[in-house]
A and B are shown apart, each in its own frame.
Chain A
Amino acid sequence: MEAFDPAELPELLKLYYRRLFPYSQYYRWLNYGGVVKNYFQHREFSFTLKDDIYIRYQSFNNQSEMEKEIQKLNPYKIDIGAVYSHRPIQHNTVKLGAFQAQEKELVFDIDMTDYDDVRRCCSSADICSKCWTLMTMAIHIIDRALKEDFGFKHCLWVYSGRRGVHCWVCDETVRKLSSAVRSGIVEYLSLVKGGEDMKKKVHLSPKIHPFIRKSINIVEKYFEEYALLGQDILENKENWNKILMLVPESLHAELQQGFQKFHNSVQRWEHLKQVVSTYRKSVRNEKFGQHIDWEIMLQYCFPRLDINVSKGINHLLKSPFSVHPKTGRISVPIDLQKVDQFDPFTVPTISQICHELDMVSSNEDDGDKENEAEPDTKRRTRDYKKTSLAPYVRSFEQFLEELDKSRKGELLRKSDAQRDF
């Protein structure tokens, strides 16, 4: 496999944007069937260029204008913003205050650095296959709630290219949600609370809300493998002391004793579960302390969302199929059918797919000359298929097909409703 060298990025980006970036699918997504006039034209894009030069409020009249501009600037990073009241490119010509963000997908950003207090394998920007399970659990928990609880249908999950995942909820009604409702949704989905000065970050009341119960069911599937074996959260005194901080003081002596007696995290966890279940009976009528084991599980495994990314309609988020300038990895959509198999380390880098393209091209050059006569766009459709980007574009297309289906269903419903009158 071709190793990524950031120094080559400018050259690689040229090739990527000329021959591999899936423009037509990308346009098809953000145009949303052209149902709302100027929806694509009023969308903000922002580009980060070489040397961290950041340009906001870009917008395009159509797909080919977007293509030309991207190929001209070769951005290191592409961000997507809101749909505004006016063309973002003209935001300076509009009367102050009239230029307003009106709609956007509901987005979530889950970043591994927010879990630094509960992962032992890595810290800050580093990830490994062990801690990636945190992202797997996050996707399952949030995706289930968005669909089953909130009734949303179109959630696009995307690998951020480095240490986390993004989610774009694209339903028509969702794009219109107010900032207050967006915040409310994040609050509903948040359980781990408190900053550096709060050791115990999850508090459950005696009654367990169905959302929490269903989330615990998901965590339970991963907990032993991930937390007890992988992270070995009760491996030694230093680590179990961190867990004792989350347990009432009256239980510390008994727990310590058991922890010393047993030999591994799995046994020690069993011991803890027994101790807290006895304790539970003694505090049956208290407000807290009924679910200590679950509180620990959730503190170590439950998704941590950044509310500021989700609540603002005008907040920008890195676009799918943008490249991560440090790792060279493409921000690819994650196939929800295969979340558990998703491995960030097998996501193609820009060097890899450019290399793959070179290989095929040089082979084809030997006999096949008709390539040249073909229009650019058509050739490009074939180009990405020759690289390991193909399956990711395919799963993006499946997502778009679902969006189309909903849109058609909605149109049908509306015209039926009209016929009734």
Chain B
Amino acid sequence: MQFSGLKRKKLSLIGDHRGASYPHSLQFYLQPPSENISLAEFENLAVERLKLLKIVENLGVSYVKGSEQYQSKLENEIRKLKFSYRESSEDEFEARRKDHISHFILRLAYCQSEDLRRWLIQQEMDLFRFRFSILPPDKVQGFLKDSHLQFETISKEEKELHFQNIIDSSIPLSGNKYELEAVYKVPFADALDLFRGRKVYLEHGFAFVPHQDIVSIILNDFRAKLSKALALTARSLPSVQSDERLQPLLNHLSHSYVGQDYNAQANMGKISLDQLDSLAVKSFPLCMRQLHKALREHHHLRHGGRMQYGLFLKGIGLTLEQALQFWKLEFIKGKVDTDKFDKGYAYNIRHSYGKEGKRTDYTPFSCMKIILTNPPSQGDYHGCPFRHSDPELLKQRLQSSKISQTGINQILDYIKGTHYQLACQKFFDLTHNVEDGMFSLNHPNQYFFESQKLLNGGREVRKEPSQPEVSQTKQSVQKTSNSTSSLPSSLDSTLEMDMEGLEGYFSEPF
């Protein structure tokens, strides 16, 4: 990307031309923007889109996606931020242009690591899903055509033949509605999000998708294209990073919004192994207490548990040597002998500290990761107790933690509403005797640090993180947007500079 000293070029797109460049309020982002924009606008657009995506993420945590509340709140927020969202008669050119350019800027900031890419793809998909859901039915075909998406429909006879199977596969579909809807036949892999939850009928490698579910197929395509594009962008990134003015901005954008990764080196070695049992009772979140207890009892944990617990311990400050000692002492009490431990498990522990293989320094798992990925199965003790336990068992466990009946009921209510993090936070508040809302919980290691902070009377076991902590409440969104004012001075928004050839960084879009 280049900056020139020229003054910002005024846009001269008007009338038909403007309409033609963005025919719909949502887009597949197939073409990168070709116009020049100022650095100030670049920064501004990026920050606005991040705000939008952060809102998308927060609403998705607090409400059921697609529910009435979710839809109306999201629509409100998009309107406030002046992004495009609804096909309407009024001129939406500016809003669509903003949507277009800001999307591509974020690709630059969020292509750098797998975690960042996953986050961006998730939020962009949710945003797309929302926009598609409010697209008027008569505009759908036009949008599909403009985005080069065409699907084969099945004949009336075939539709009748599969009637029962298709109805049984789609929870909300009724017989009457079926009569009216088109059914598409697509290769099963294109319907990943449908078939993996058994929400579509599969036969001989094809998914039979009723029109009401077609958004899944489109999103699948959207994700595939975005994911490929991000990989390509990442390859051209070194040239972006060599630009001194742009690089800090991009880094700042990507860091401040995904949140603390709790892989801080600052705490290393500040905990001794014999403290662990008492720390577990006082300051571990329930998921880690459970793993600690299972490990002490069975002298073993399966892979998922070792990852979740091992990285947590690393995050609270266990050094590699301590970790090796800790796991070994426990495992050799069970069925594993020293030799087997040294040959197998020790490698994995060194690996998680970035000392083997690809030398990736693994970061502790966040709540979202624990809640959403790799659910526990037979023999496993990992996962989120608020998400992956029988309510009855959880109740017993809470009672044994001496939590009041009212407290337990509040926690169970959160769980019913699928607010697992809020349930865990309530558990924190109740076990630490504090008023609610002191912080917003999104990471087991955050739980630990907040607890230690309280118990040690404000003296933290760790140093302050260099980045302002970001979490999932709106309050914290504000916190971060304030922090953008402290950008390096070379990126001060008063600086008027043009950037040319934005598209140059998206070599071969998709």
| Chain A residues within 8 Å of B303, by CB | 308
Contact with B along A141-177 (1 / 0, CB 8 A): 0000000111110000000000000000000000001
A150-B202, A195-B377, A197-B388 are known contacts. Are A207 and B171 too (CB-CB below 8 A)? yes
B340 and A52 contacting across the interface, CB-CB below 8 Å? yes
Within 8 A of B (CB), among A182-238: 183-185, 187-188, 192-200, 205, 207-213
> Counting CB contacts under 8 A, is B33 at the interface?
no
Docked pose: A113 CA to B202 CA in angstroms: 31
Within 8 A of B (CB), among A110-140: 113-117
| Chain B residues within 8 Å of A87, by CB | none
> Counting CB contacts under 8 A, is B168 at the interface?
yes
A177-B189, A207-B171, A209-B168 are known contacts. Are A195 and B382 too (CB-CB below 8 A)? yes
Closest A residue to B290 by beta carbon equals A197
**CB contact between A193 and one of B171, B197, B343, B375 (< 8 Å): that residue:** B375
A196 and B381 contacting across the interface, CB-CB below 8 Å? yes
A198-B388, A207-B168 are known contacts. Are A149 and B382 too (CB-CB below 8 A)? no
B197 and A195 contacting across the interface, CB-CB below 8 Å? no
A195 and B206 contacting across the interface, CB-CB below 8 Å? no
> Counting CB contacts under 8 A, is B459 at the interface?
no
A195-B383, A308-B303 are known contacts. Are A151 and B205 too (CB-CB below 8 A)? yes
Closest A residue to B340 by beta carbon equals A52
Docked pose: A148 CA to B339 CA in angstroms: 46
**CB contact between B204 and one of A148, A212, A307 (< 8 Å): that residue:** A148
Shortest C-beta distance, A272 to chain B (Å), equals: 20
> Counting CB contacts under 8 A, is A288 at the interface?
no
A200 and B196 contacting across the interface, CB-CB below 8 Å? no
Total interface residues on A, CB under 8 Å, equals 42
Contact with A along B365-398 (1 / 0, CB 8 A): 0000000001111111111010011101110000
A54 and B189 contacting across the interface, CB-CB below 8 Å? no
> Counting CB contacts under 8 A, is B198 at the interface?
yes
| Chain A residues within 8 Å of B379, by CB | 113-114, 116, 195-196
A196 and B380 contacting across the interface, CB-CB below 8 Å? yes
> Counting CB contacts under 8 A, is B91 at the interface?
no
| Chain A residues within 8 Å of B290, by CB | 197
Shortest C-beta distance, A92 to chain B (Å), equals: 12
B393 and A52 contacting across the interface, CB-CB below 8 Å? no
| Chain A residues within 8 Å of B389, by CB | 197-198
B378 and A187 contacting across the interface, CB-CB below 8 Å? no
| Chain B residues within 8 Å of A148, by CB | 203-204
A181 and B189 contacting across the interface, CB-CB below 8 Å? yes
| Chain B residues within 8 Å of A306, by CB | 377
Closest A residue to B376 by beta carbon equals A195
Closest B residue to A184 by beta carbon equals B196
| Chain B residues within 8 Å of A177, by CB | 189
Docked pose: A139 CA to B281 CA in angstroms: 45
B202 and A149 contacting across the interface, CB-CB below 8 Å? yes
| Chain A residues within 8 Å of B294, by CB | 196
> Counting CB contacts under 8 A, is B201 at the interface?
yes
> Counting CB contacts under 8 A, is B192 at the interface?
yes
| Chain B residues within 8 Å of A86, by CB | none
Task: Determine which residue in B196, B339, B378, B390 has the highest number of CB atoms from chain A within 10 A of its CB, and name it.
Answer: B378
Docked pose: A255 CA to B464 CA in angstroms: 59
**CB contact between B168 and one of A200, A208, A308 (< 8 Å): that residue:** A208
A210-B165, A212-B198 are known contacts. Are A184 and B192 too (CB-CB below 8 A)? yes
> Counting CB contacts under 8 A, is A3 at the interface?
no
> Counting CB contacts under 8 A, is A180 at the interface?
yes
Within 8 A of A (CB), among B278-307: 290, 294, 303
| Chain A residues within 8 Å of B375, by CB | 193-195
> Counting CB contacts under 8 A, is B222 at the interface?
no
Docked pose: A212 CA to B197 CA in angstroms: 12
B201 and A210 contacting across the interface, CB-CB below 8 Å? yes
Within 8 A of A (CB), among B150-199: 165, 167-169, 171, 188-189, 192, 195-198
Closest A residue to B206 by beta carbon equals A151
Docked pose: A167 CA to B123 CA in angstroms: 36
| Chain A residues within 8 Å of B340, by CB | 52
B203 and A149 contacting across the interface, CB-CB below 8 Å? yes
Closest B residue to A176 by beta carbon equals B189
**Given A184-B195, A192-B378, 17 additional A-B pairs, CB 8 A:** A52-B339, A54-B343, A148-B203, A148-B204, A150-B204, A151-B203, A151-B206, A180-B192, A188-B196, A194-B376, A195-B378, A197-B376, A197-B388, A198-B393, A199-B392, A200-B390, A210-B201
What are 21 inter-chain pairs, A to B, with CB distance below 8 A?
A114-B377, A114-B378, A148-B203, A151-B188, A151-B205, A181-B192, A183-B196, A185-B196, A194-B377, A195-B376, A196-B294, A197-B393, A199-B392, A199-B393, A207-B167, A207-B169, A210-B169, A212-B198, A304-B377, A306-B377, A307-B374
Closest 8 CB pairs of A and B: A151-B205, A195-B376, A184-B196, A195-B380, A151-B204, A197-B389, A149-B202, A187-B196
Interface residues of B (CB under 8 A from A): 165, 167-169, 171, 188-189, 192, 195-198, 201-206, 290, 294, 303, 339-340, 343, 358, 374-383, 385, 388-390, 392-394
